Amino acid sequence: MINREPFPVKKICIWSLVAIFGLAISFIIFIAIISINIGLNNFNQDGFVIPILAGIFSIGISLFLFIWFIKFIIRLLKEKDIIRYS
């Protein structure tokens, strides 16, 4: 009889979820960089600092959420099974 490892569906699904979340975060960061650029290009107008601060805040929050999500996924992969029996 041939003993094979089971197909790692759990890991494939989780890493594809990480990739999709990473694409979403990169889109948010791209929009934030455009916001910072608009603020810097309109330096002579009142309130130019608002798009700059909003962009920096968006980048910070996005990176924090992405790092937290990656840590959560790593903890999830270290467990034997996703379903916990009580």
Instruction: Give the chain's end-to-end CA distance (angstroms, integer).
Output: 35
Distances from the Cα of 48 to the Cα of 29, 53, 56, 57, angstroms? 19, 9, 13, 15
**pLDDT by 10-residue block (mean), the chain, 86 residues:** 72 88 96 96 92 96 94 79 55
Residue spans of the domains in the chain: they are 14-76
Nearest to 41 by CA among 58, 25, 59, 55: 55
What is the reported pTM?
0.77
Q: Are 52 and 39 in contact (CB under 8 A)?
A: yes
pLDDT at residue 9, as a whole number = 79
